[in-house]
Amino acid sequence: MGRKERREREAKRENYATKRSAAKRKEMLIAVAVLAVIGVIVGYAVFLFINMTETAPGGPENAGALGSEHSHAGILVKIFGDSFDFSAPSYQIKSSWIHFEARDGTTVHKHATGVTLGYLFETLSLGLDDKCFVFQDGRSFCSDDDYTLKFFINDKQVSDIRDYEIIDGDRILISYGGETPEEIESQLLELNNQGIQE
């Protein structure tokens, strides 16, 4: 009986080892397959990111591919003499095409051709036209008999900035109130003394 029991034990060990080996092989194949699928998904996502064009989700109409331009402009928004703060998290990187970043609220970063300042303000949920500046909470500052909304690009007053595409180094002032020419000069000086992040 000793030999028979020994053979049975050896057969059980061999069966156990074979089953264990097969289970490990199966687990290894599943892990390799999962990693391969993840690799394919990541590779495809990278391919899409690198080749994004104006048809990518969230992109502005008529914009070039991401990375087709990289421009920076300084901006200052004054409402009754108070500076508007774009460094708050609610105004940071709302679009890959044009945005504020790195908790800086004075430099506009543009990453594609064909992207306008109007699109920037749309992405920030701020209303802007040639007469009114409207905050996210609905407060509006519109030109009337007492106060006016004014726009300046590189020290020159313009009637509207929505269709303007920034050029590297531009300086944009949006001012609302009843400022004197001297006060506007002071705001332009403040804007020109602002640093522009790269």
**Shared-domain flag, residues 96 and 5:** no
CB atoms within 10 A of CB 89: 7
pLDDT mean over 159-165: 96
Q: Is residue 85 part of a domain?
A: yes
**Shared-domain flag, residues 99 and 189:** yes
**Shared-domain flag, residues 89 and 150:** yes
Locate 54 and state its tokens. Answer: 């104006």
Q: Is residue 111 part of a domain?
A: yes
Query: Sign of the C-alpha dihedral, residues 95, 110, 158, 81?
Result: positive
pLDDT mean over 150-164: 97
**Shared-domain flag, residues 41 and 76:** no
Number of structural domains in the chain: 2
**Shared-domain flag, residues 104 and 184:** yes
**Shared-domain flag, residues 129 and 36:** no
Domain CATH code at residue 173: 2.170.130
**Bigger pLDDT: 1 vs 79:** 79
**Shared-domain flag, residues 162 and 75:** yes
Is the pLDDT confidence value at 104 over 80?
yes
Is the pLDDT confidence value at 53 over 50?
no
The reported pLDDT for the residue numbered 73 is 97
β-pair partners for 71? 110
**Shared-domain flag, residues 41 and 113:** no
**Shared-domain flag, residues 164 and 81:** yes
Full residue range of the structural domain in which residue 35 is found: 1-51
SS3 149: strand
Closest CA to 75 of 123, 107, 35: 107
**Shared-domain flag, residues 81 and 36:** no
Distance (Å, whole) CA 53 – CA 22: 48
The reported pLDDT for the residue numbered 44 is 75
The reported pLDDT for the residue numbered 172 is 98
pLDDT digits (tens, 9 = 90+) for 56-103: 555 788 888 888 999 999 999 999 999 999 999 999 999 999 999 999
Confidence of residue 11 (pLDDT cuts 50, 70, 90): low
Is the pLDDT confidence value at 156 over 50?
yes
**Shared-domain flag, residues 95 and 180:** yes
The reported pLDDT for the residue numbered 157 is 97
Q: What's this model's pTM, rounded to 2 decimal places?
A: 0.70
**Shared-domain flag, residues 167 and 133:** yes
